[in-house]
């Protein structure tokens, strides 16, 4: 079947075409036949193409690839109409375009509308305009080539650009994968490899493979000879010629080229024998590598050996041209022309000499501009312009000259002309930038930059950003110095957005954060930017400087390690060395801080053993001094200062300061008499020296002699404020307030600066003389002079305001201080204390709240939520503000609480019981800068039933011993109801109350109490004088009615004085002690008295915000004069041993559950010894006692209580809780159980409390049950 017949059949079946591959034949066979067609086209083997195509039609007539191959065949053989017809059918019937159809479309276009463009591209390539030719092919083919020849042609054009070498190599290698062993591809690949390396082994193998084939012989020979021509003139190339001749033994072209090579090799070998020529080769190679300083001596020696070698002179001319020594370059280029026979080379040398002369004139003009020799500069620029080398360079330098002369507008116009001719001229661009910088305004600078083109911006970007960041830094510095840290921060943040890689912006911003107390934020700032720019050397350098300011020497050294070695300049190396010394000294400090002096001495000794410079010795001496090795420190310091007297005056004066501190009169006096400040001393050095002299005079002179010496010093250094301060203080020390004020007024009149410290001393003097107005004015001046960097002094001023006489003056000055340093939270806290001192509660509360949140006013809930917990990791003034606000909240708080008490006690010895129930009610409310309170306690009290037909029990009740078995009633069950009422007032120091025992009891009384508490040093103390009911029995508390006579006895009241002392700084340990003396009186009860001594200590095993566990130990001793423990007539019914000694170990665990629930569990064990004396039944009525003795035979009752000595162990268990239901409502409870040999009391309480103001903070533990007024 003919190929045309196959095509007809295929067209008949074309209606069934689709884009999917039919799987009824071997796809690999189709692919192989298609590749054979491509190879045949590339080799121009028409028979291979037609045979492969015929087979393809035979096995897969309906395949898309077959139809494309047939159309492609028609295009290549000139059957364009037939090919386009088939292409149209394929394109219309397919839903999705296949790669082969895309190729057909391109084939159609290059034989139609793009045919002229193809011819144009080929002509451009022949003319050497490869870039334009490539662009046309890129537009037509877009990486889809209809034939291999087009792809090879396109690659060959890219190969002309050395910058595209690797990409072209990759392209050839992709073709080699598709066309294995295809000569057209392999030979083109070899040619490309030899362009980069004329001896490439792979390329040589390819040339050897195809050199003997008829189709490639001539092409391969041309490639081979070109490679040989590019090889160096040496014996290795001779060997390459021999390999060439194995394939082309009779080539005339090769023979001629080889003969020329042998002549060159012979001449080359002769030159190589010349040492001077060898020097030139080495020097020229270094010149190519731009190692100019290394090349210079070699080229000069070569010229000395070959003084008429124009090539060496040319190399020297190029060398000096690159070094910027244009005069030498001009001379060598001019001399080289004389010894250069080649005409073209001489012309090149003339051009180079002219260029060197041009740049010589330009350099001379610039030097003249720098020296302000403007006429000389103009002359040199005119000479440069006459050479007609680079007119834009001359014009740009004329702009520089105009700028130097202050003609800024003319300079700008000149630069604009340059940029019109050469838009990227750097001199003109930088000149315009310099003009824009004159206004020192970021908006002007930004406007200038934004009007530039993109390419111009790229040229100026780094310099523009540096200039812009400099403006921002200056603005931020001025704001910070004015105390406006927030605006300074905003300015720097804005600057960083614009110039994110400018290191010193981060440095400045970090210090702003540090001044605001945000050191962690400052660290994070650097960490984040270093993550983005880890190898920015200046950013690392600034980071290291910042960390050094924090004494984080290890961190500073670590960040410097990231700087590549080649980027380490002298500043970075010096900083690293200093940091290493600082870290070593800091390590010694850490040993010192851990009180490991031996380790510190060992470490410092090891450092001292090294080869130290004098500067390092004095640094090391300072560390020796810090561990109290003063003698060695003085010797080492002296050694360093003697070795290098030019060391900073700081070290000399530190040495003098040490001598002064040592108290060595002779050495100290000698140093102060002999040391003189150098003439170059800075103002800071002078101030330090004057302060040191002041200290010396103050130490060694007194009274009038001191004032005389200070006056001498003041005359020598009249501008030194330190001497004025010392003179003022010296006068004030002698109570010469008026003299100090006169001195101050003289200095002010002479317009001399007065230190803020001296101003505060003068303010105090004015107050002492009763001039409060001047005191305020001078203090205000001190505040205005102070800066945010002098925070310690500002705080001293604030604390001194507590001594002012008028609240208005003190608060006004406090307000000025706070406005001066709004970010100093400690200062704000101290201001709040001043307001508190003057009872300005509202202002104090405002400043305390601002201490917690300086940037935003908190609402009530936010404020009290922030008081939730006292975090010991917070600054002391933060916790102080929280405590003051909590105290203020408590002072302003009003609440009412109601509880229910359950109590009872049993004596296992006498079977006596006591039951008590009450409903305690209390209310607290703000009153007179403190709190008023009211307590109301409805009370029910009862005791066991006593039967008078029982001898033991009946005889021990009132006068029952006198009527036992014959009493008027058989039994009595004491029970009484009443309501006690108490009112009072309290503040931080005082508590005063007055009230009644329960009204309704048999015996009613007025009771009262006065309590005062305060601190002295680290100790707390309190004194209390009070009259209280004794509540341990019905008899003692309410009184009883005698069964025999109907009379009432009991109602014991204690009146006494108590003193308490305690020590608890919130640490692990604390202790307490108490002593009291008390009188006991009751109705028809014998008077009694008691003294009591108690003391104990406790240790906080665990203490944090969530829980606290305390272990304690206590010792107690008390003694009553009489034993009145019983319930007979004249006794009081209260436990009253004559000697009691007890030891106890309490364990207390407090904890919280969330913020709204706290609880306590407490237990303890104790041991006690008790002695009681014998006493009569009726100790205050001898007649009744006598009658009882008379009736003893009748009643069988011995009317006396025996003495007793006992000892025993007891234990107790307590528990309490408190829960906040809402911010207003609280619910709590308390339970206590005691167990001993003869005493088993139990007590419980449930209570609910309502706060009129909401309580938001975390509850403090333990909870606070209601204390009945009787137990107040």
CB proximity list for 877: less than 8 A, separation 6 or greater = 825, 826, 829, 830, 851
- At 4, is the pLDDT very low, low, confident or very high (cuts 50, 70, 90)? very low
Assigned domain for 1193 exists: yes
Q: Mean pLDDT over residues 545-555, rounded?
A: 82
Residue with tokens 């002479």: 750
Residue 1054 has pLDDT above 80, yes or no: yes
CATH code of the domain covering residue 996 = 2.40.160.40
Tokens of 981: 């009422």
Q: What percent of the chain has pLDDT above 90?
A: 14
User: Considering the domain boundaries, does residue 727 fall inside one?
Assistant: no
Helix (H) or strand (E) holding 81: helix 80-93
Q: Using the 8-state DSSP alphabet, how is residue 1259 labeled? A: P
| CA separation for the pair 883, 1144 (Å, rounded) | 33
> Sign of the C-alpha dihedral, residues 642, 646, 652, 655?
negative
What's the pLDDT band for 1026 if we cut at 50, 70, 90? very high
pLDDT (average), residues 993-1001: 93
- Indicate whether 1045 belongs to any domain: yes
Residue 465 lies in a domain: yes
As a whole number, mean pLDDT of residues 973-1002 equals: 91
Specify if 187 maps to a domain: no
Pick from 50-54, 589-593, 822-826, 1167-1171: least confident: 589-593
Are 25 and 59 in contact by the 8 Å Cβ rule? The answer is: yes
Query: Two tokens at 750?
Result: 């002479």
Give 430 or 720, the one with higher predicted confidence: 430
Question: What pLDDT, in 10s, does the model give residues 157-195?
Answer: 888 888 888 888 888 888 888 887 888 888 888 888 888
In order, the DSSP letters of 178-221 are HSTT-HHHHHHHHHHHHHH-TT-HHHHHHHHHHTTSTTTHHHHH
* pLDDT at residue 911 in the model: 46
Confidence of residue 794 (pLDDT cuts 50, 70, 90): confident
Q: What is the DSSP string of 1052-1102?
A: EEEEEEEEEEEE--SSSEEEEEEEEEEEEEEETEEEEEEEEEEEEEEEEEE
The band of 1214, judged by pLDDT with boundaries at 50, 70 and 90, is very high
- Dig out the tokens for 1157 from the structure: 């629930």
Inter-CA distances, 616 with 401, 585, 1251, Å: 49, 10, 66
Tokens of 1091: 């003294």
Lookup result for tokens 């003085």: 634
Q: What is the pLDDT of residue 788?
A: 64
CA torsion 4-5-8-10 (nearest 10°) is: -100
Instruction: Measure the CA–CA gap between 682 and 446, rounded to whole angstroms.
Output: 39
Measured CA to CA, the distance from residue 656 to residue 907 in angstroms comes to 79
Q: How far apart are CA 180 and CA 189, in angstroms?
A: 12
Candidate from 4-13, 74-83, 690-699, 1043-1052 with smallest mean pLDDT? 4-13
Q: Which of 528, 560, 592 is the last residue of a domain?
A: 560
CATH number for the domain spanning 17: value is 1.25.40
Alpha-carbon distance of 1136 to 386, in angstroms, equals: 126
The per-residue pLDDT for 94 is 61
Contact 322, 292 (CB under 8 A): yes
Which range is least confidently modeled, 142-151, 594-603, 649-658?
Answer: 594-603
Q: Which of 95, 112, 129 is the last residue of a domain?
A: 112
Is the separation of the CB atoms in 1055 and 1081 below 8 Å?
yes
985 pLDDT exceeds 90? yes
pTM: 0.44
1110-1121 residue pLDDT tens: 999 999 999 999
Q: Long-range pairs for 550-555 at CB < 8 Å and ≥24 separation?
A: 550/514, 550/519, 551/582, 551/586, 553/579, 553/580, 553/582, 553/583, 553/586, 554/583
Phi, psi of 771 (to 5 degrees): -95, 80
Q: How confident is the model at residue 15 (pLDDT cuts 50, 70, 90)?
A: very low
pLDDT: which is higher, 420 or 1248 = 1248
Average pLDDT over residues 831-845: 82
* pLDDT grade for 917, boundaries at 50, 70 and 90: low
Q: Report yes or no on 905 lying in a domain.
A: yes
Query: What pLDDT, on the 0 to 100 scale, is given for residue 249?
Result: 82
Say if residue 995 is exposed, middle or buried (CB neighbours under 10 Å; 0-12, 13-18, 19+). Answer: buried
Determine which of 536-545, 989-998, 1088-1097 has the lowest per-residue pLDDT on average.
536-545
Rounded to whole angstroms, the Cα distance separating 274 from 302 reads 10
Task: Please say if the pLDDT value at position 894 is more than 70.
Answer: yes
Q: Where are the beta strands (DSSP E) in 736-854?
A: none
Residue 793 lies in a domain: no
The token duo for 191 is: 């040619």
Mean pLDDT of 25-44: 72
Mean pLDDT along residues 995-1001: 92
Q: What is the dihedral of CA 212, 217, 220, 222, to 10 degrees?
A: 130
Neighbours of 1229 (CB within 10 A): 18
User: How does pLDDT run across 676-734, given as a tens digit for each residue?
Assistant: 888 777 777 777 877 787 777 777 777 777 777 777 666 667 666 777 777 777 777 77
Q: How many Å apart are CA 1199 and CA 958, to the nearest integer?
A: 12
Nearest to 1046 by CA among 979, 1126, 1123, 963: 963
Residue predicted with more confidence, 1159 or 801: 1159
Specify the pLDDT at position 392.
86
Distances (CA, A) of 379 to 33, 72, 384, 398: 79, 73, 9, 11
pLDDT computed for residue 25 by the predictor: 45
**pLDDT, position 712:** 67
In this prediction, residue 291 has a pLDDT band, given cuts at 50, 70 and 90, of confident
DSSP-based three-state secondary structure for 197: coil
What is the distance in angstroms between the CA of the first residue and the CA of the last residue of the chain?
128
Q: What is the CATH number for 477?
A: 1.25.40.10
Cβ within 8 Å of residue 4, ≥6 positions away: none
Q: How do beta strands 1240-1251 and 1225-1235 pair?
A: antiparallel
Residue 782 · residue 793 · CB < 8 Å: no
Instruction: Give the pLDDT band (50/70/90) at residue 5.
Output: very low
Instruction: State both tokens at 1203.
Output: 């003495």
Asked which of 383-392, 829-838, 906-915, 1004-1013 is least confident by mean pLDDT, the reply is: 906-915
Most confident of 583-587, 764-768, 1200-1204: 1200-1204
How many alpha carbons fall within 13 Å on the CB side of residue 1174? Answer: 5
Q: Which residues of 1184-1207 are buried (b: 16+ CB within 10 A; e: fewer)?
A: bbebbeebeeebebebbbeeeeee
Q: Which two tokens stand for residue 1065?
A: 């700084």
Give the distance from CA 1264 to its chain's centroid.
Answer: 42
- Which of the listed residues 560, 583, 617 is the one where a domain comes to its end? 560
* In the predicted structure, residue 626 carries a pLDDT above the cut 80: no
Closest CA to 256 of 233, 228, 298: 228
pLDDT at residue 306 greater than cutoff 70: yes
- Average model confidence (pLDDT) for the chain? 82
Quote the domain boundaries for residue 348: 334-560
At 956-983, the pLDDT tens digits run 888 877 788 777 777 888 888 899 999 9
Residue ranges with strand state E in 773-920: 895-906, 913-918
At residue 28, the 3 state secondary structure works out as: helix
DSSP H helices, 956-1079, are 960-963, 1034-1037
Domain-embedded: residue 1073? yes
Q: Residues 861-881: pLDDT tens digits? A: 666 666 666 666 777 777 777
pLDDT average, residue stretch 1072-1077: 94
pLDDT at residue 745 greater than cutoff 90: no
pLDDT at 60 over 80: no
Distance CA 788, CA 15 (A): 91
Whether 1050 has a pLDDT exceeding 80, the answer reads yes
Tokens found for residue 68: 């494309």
Extract the runs of DSSP E, i.e. beta strands, from 1197-1252. 1200-1201, 1204-1220, 1225-1235, 1240-1251
Number of domains in the chain: 3
Q: What is the largest CA-CA distance in the chain?
A: 170
């Amino acid at each position: 079947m003919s190929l045309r017949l196959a095509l007809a059949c295929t067209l008949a079946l074309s209606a069934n075409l689709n884009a999917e591959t039919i799987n009824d034949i071997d796809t690999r066979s189709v692919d192989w036949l298609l590749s054979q067609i491509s190879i045949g086209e590339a080799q121009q083997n028409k028979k291979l193409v037609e045979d492969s195509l015929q087979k393809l039609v035979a096995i897969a007539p309906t395949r898309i690839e077959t139809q494309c191959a047939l159309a492609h065949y028609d295009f290549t053989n000139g059957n364009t109409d037939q090919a386009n017809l088939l292409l149209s059918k394929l394109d219309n019937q397919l839903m999705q375009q296949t790669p082969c159809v895309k190729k057909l479309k391109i084939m159609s276009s290059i034989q139609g509308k793009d045919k002229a463009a193809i011819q144009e591209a080929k002509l451009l390539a022949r003319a050497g305009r490869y870039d334009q030719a490539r662009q046309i092919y890129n537009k037509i083919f877009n990486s889809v080539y209809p034939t291999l020849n087009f792809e090879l042609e396109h690659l060959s054009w890219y190969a002309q650009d050395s910058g595209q070498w690797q990409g072209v190599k990759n392209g050839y290698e992709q073709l080699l994968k598709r066309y294995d062993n295809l000569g057209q591809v392999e030979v083109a690949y070899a040619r490309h490899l030899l362009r980069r390396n004329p001896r490439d082994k792979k390329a040589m193998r390819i040339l050897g493979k195809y050199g003997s084939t008829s189709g490639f012989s001539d092409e391969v020979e041309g490639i081979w000879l070109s490679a040989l021509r590019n090889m160096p003139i040496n014996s290795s190339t001779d060997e390459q010629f021999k390999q060439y001749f194995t394939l082309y033994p009779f080539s005339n072209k090769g023979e001629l080229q080889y003969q020329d090579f042998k002549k060159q090799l012979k001449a080359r070998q002769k030159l190589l024998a010349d040492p001077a020529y060898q020097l030139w080769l080495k020097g020229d190679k270094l010149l190519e590598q731009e190692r100019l300083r290394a090349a210079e001596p070699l080229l000069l020696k070569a010229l000395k050996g070959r003084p008429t070698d124009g090539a060496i002179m040319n190399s020297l001319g190029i060398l000096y041209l690159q070094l910027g020594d244009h005069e030498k370059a001009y001379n060598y280029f001019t001399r080289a022309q004389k010894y250069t026979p080649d005409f073209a080379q001489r012309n090149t040398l003339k051009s180079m000499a002219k260029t060197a002369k041009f740049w010589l004139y330009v350099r001379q003009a610039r030097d003249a501009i720098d020296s302000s020799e403007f006429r000389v500069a103009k002359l040199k620029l005119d000479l440069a312009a006459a050479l007609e080398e680079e007119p834009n360079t001359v014009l740009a330098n004329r702009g520089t000259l105009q700028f130097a002369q202050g003609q800024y507008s003319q300079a700008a116009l000149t630069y604009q002309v340059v940029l019109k001719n050469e838009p990227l001229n750097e001199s003109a661009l930088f000149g315009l930038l310099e003009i824009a910088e004159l206004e020192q305004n970021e908006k002007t600078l930004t406007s200038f930059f934004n009007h530039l083109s993109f390419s111009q911006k790229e040229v100026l970007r780094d310099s523009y950003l540096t200039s812009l960041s400099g403006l921002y830094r200056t603005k931020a510095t001025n704001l910070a110095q004015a105390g406006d840290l927030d605006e300074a921060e905003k300015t720097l943040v804005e600057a960083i957005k614009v110039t994110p890689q400018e290191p010193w912006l981060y440095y400045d911003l970090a210090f702003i954060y540090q001044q605001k107390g945000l050191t962690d934020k400052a660290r994070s700032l650097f960490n984040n930017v270093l993550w983005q720019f880890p190898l920015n050397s200046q950013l690392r350098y600034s980071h290291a400087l910042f960390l050094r300011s924090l004494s984080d020497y290890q961190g500073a050294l670590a960040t410097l390690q990231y700087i590549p070695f080649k980027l380490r300049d002298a500043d970075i190396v010096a900083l690293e060395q200093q940091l290493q010394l600082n870290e070593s000294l800091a390590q010694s400090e850490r040993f010192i801080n851990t009180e490991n002096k031996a380790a510190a001495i060992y470490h410092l000794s090891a450092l001292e053993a090294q080869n130290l410079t004098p500067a390092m010795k004095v640094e090391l001496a300072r560390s020796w001094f810090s561990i109290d090795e003063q003698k060695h420190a003085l010797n080492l310091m002296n050694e360093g200062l003697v070795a290098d007297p030019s060391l900073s005056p700081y070290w000399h004066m530190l040495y003098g300061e040490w001598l002064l501190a040592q108290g060595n009169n002779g050495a100290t006096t000698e140093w102060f008499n002999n040391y003189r400040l150098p003439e170059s001393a800075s103002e800071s050095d002078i101030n330090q020296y004057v302060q040191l002299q002041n200290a010396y005079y103050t130490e060694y002179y007194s009274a009038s002699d001191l004032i005389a010496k200070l006056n001498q010093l003041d005359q020598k250094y009249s501008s030194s404020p330190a001497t004025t301060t010392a003179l003022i203080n010296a006068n004030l020390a002698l109570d010469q307030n008026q003299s100090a004020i006169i001195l101050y007024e003289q200095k002010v009149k002479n317009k001399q600066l007065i230190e803020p410290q001296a101003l505060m001393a003068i303010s105090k003097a004015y107050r002492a003389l009763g001039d409060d107005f001047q005191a305020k004015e001078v203090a205000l001046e001190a505040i205005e002079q102070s800066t945010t960097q002098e925070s310690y002094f500002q705080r001293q001023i604030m604390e001194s305001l507590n001594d002012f006489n008028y609240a208005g003056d003190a608060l006004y000055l406090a307000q000025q201080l706070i406005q001066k340093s709004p970010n100093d939270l400690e200062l704000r806290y101290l201001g709040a204390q001043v307001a508190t001192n003057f009872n300005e509660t509202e202002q104090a509360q405002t400043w305390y709240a601002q201490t917690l949140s300086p940037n935003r006013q908190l609402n009530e809930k936010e404020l009290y939520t922030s008081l939730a917990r006292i975090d010991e990791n917070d600054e002391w003034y933060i916790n102080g503000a929280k405590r003051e606000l909590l105290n203020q909240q408590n002072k302003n708080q009003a609440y009412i609480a109601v509880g229910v008490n359950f109590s009872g006690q049993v004596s296992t010895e006498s079977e006596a019981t006591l039951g008590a129930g009450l409903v305690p009610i209390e209310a607290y409310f703000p009153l007179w800068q403190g709190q008023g309170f009211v307590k109301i306690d409805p009370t029910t009290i009862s005791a066991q039933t006593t039967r008078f037909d029982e001898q033991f029990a009946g005889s021990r009740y009132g006068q029952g011993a006198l009527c036992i078995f014959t009493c008027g009633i058989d039994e009595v069950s004491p029970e009484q109801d009443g309501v006690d009422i108490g009112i009072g007032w309290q503040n931080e120091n005082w508590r005063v109350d007055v009230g009644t025992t329960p009204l309704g009891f048999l015996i009613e009384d007025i009771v009262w109490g006065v309590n005062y508490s305060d601190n002295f040093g680290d100790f707390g103390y309190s004194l209390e004088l009070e009259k209280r009911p004794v509540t341990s029995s019905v008899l003692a508390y309410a009184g009883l009615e005698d069964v025999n006579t109907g009379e009432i006895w009991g109602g014991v009241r204690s009146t006494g004085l108590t003193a308490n002392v305690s020590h608890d700084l919130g640490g692990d340990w604390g202790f307490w002690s108490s002593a009291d003396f008390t009188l006991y009186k009751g109705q028809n009860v014998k008077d009694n008295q008691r003294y009591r001594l108690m003391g104990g200590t406790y240790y906080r095993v665990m203490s944090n915000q969530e829980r606290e566990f305390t272990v304690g130990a206590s010792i107690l001793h008390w003694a009553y004069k009489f034993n009145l423990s019983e319930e007979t007539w004249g006794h009081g019914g209260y436990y009253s041993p004559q000697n009691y000694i007890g030891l106890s170990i309490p364990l207390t665990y407090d904890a919280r559950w969330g913020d709204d629930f706290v609880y306590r569990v407490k237990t303890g064990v104790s041991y006690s010894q008790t002695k009681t004396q014998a006493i009569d039944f009726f100790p205050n009525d001898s007649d009744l006692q006598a009658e009882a003795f008379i009736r003893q035979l009748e009643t069988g009752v011995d009317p006396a209580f025996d003495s007793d000595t006992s000892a025993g162990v007891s234990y107790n268990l307590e528990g309490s809780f408190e829960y906040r239901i809402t911010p207003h409502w609280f619910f709590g409870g308390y339970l206590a159980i005691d167990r001993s040999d003869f005493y088993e009391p139990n007590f419980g309480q449930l209570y609910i409390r309502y706060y009129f103001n909401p309580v938001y903070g975390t509850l403090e533990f333990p909870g606070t049950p209601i204390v009945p007024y009787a137990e107040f």
